[in-house]
Amino acid sequence: MTVVAFDFDGTLSDSEMTVLLGDRCGVADDMAEITERSMNDEIDYAESLRKRAALLEGLPEADVEAAFDEVELREGAADLIEELNEAGVTTAILTGGFERGVAAALEREGVSVDHIVSNRLPMTDDATELTGAVEGPLIEGTKDDALEDLADDVGVDMDDTVAVGDGANDLPMLRVAGLSIGFEPKPAVEPHCELVVTSMTEAREVLLEEGVLPEP
């Protein structure tokens, strides 16, 4: 058995959830700038995520739902996930992004993964708008711990894990995985990737070559 763990924003999806949310309240440019600095390892990820969440304070629930409805999987991502599932590979999404956006994108494509570890944007007590806070295991927690916990839960050695990501917050899981794949990785990330791909088709080819997926 093998575990394949994907990042979401920038990897399985070419959407950036905080930017989509920021579009709804006129702060998308600020969001994009903070995100880029974080992904290039210029500022601490937890700090960047809190800064971005704070910019969303007061965003109405209807706008939140509309933004998450815009989150889409990258071309070929759903097919690759489905093929991994059918091959008996444990699939996971480890993302600093938000559970609702991930769930919406997967549901739209009619595909699922075995495990999702993600963050949340809490609503006010009356559930009408965002508080500007962020909650979840991948704010201060890191993706190496998440991947190690997942491997332990399913009884897989770390040597039999695969991590796929693009940004600085993916570095911890890329460093500990048995195979690290960079998906159009940022310059600060690429040196830490054993292999680099630019499409889900290329990712599939790598997984075939590495024996993660069986030859058709």
DSSP one-letter string for 157-202: -GGGEEEEE-SGGGHHHHHHSSEEEEES--TTTGGG-SEEESSHHH
From the candidates 9, 160, 166, 170, give the one annotated as an active-site residue.
9
Q: Is residue 80 one of the residues assigned to a domain?
A: yes
From the candidates 7, 160, 166, 170, give the one annotated as an active-site residue.
7
Q: Is residue 216 one of the residues assigned to a domain?
A: no
pLDDT of residue 56: 96
pLDDT reading at 1 higher than 80: no
Q: How far apart are CA 130 and CA 53, in angstroms?
A: 9
On whether the CB atoms of residues 126 and 40 are closer than 8 A, the answer is no
pLDDT, tens digit (0-9, with 9 covering 90-100), for 123-142: 999 999 999 999 999 998 89
Q: Is residue 125 flagged as an active site residue?
A: no
pLDDT reading at 24 higher than 80: yes
Number of domains in the chain: 1
Q: Is residue 29 flagged as an active site residue?
A: no
Distances in whole angstroms, Cα of residue 34 to Cα of each of 90, 118, 148, 183: 32, 19, 28, 20
Q: Is residue 214 one of the residues assigned to a domain?
A: no
Distances in whole angstroms, Cα of residue 17 to Cα of each of 8, 28, 40, 63: 10, 10, 17, 13
pTM of the entire predicted model: 0.94
pLDDT of residue 35: 86
pLDDT reading at 83 higher than 90: yes
Q: Is residue 215 one of the residues assigned to a domain?
A: no
Q: Is residue 16 one of the residues assigned to a domain?
A: yes
Q: Is residue 138 one of the residues assigned to a domain?
A: yes
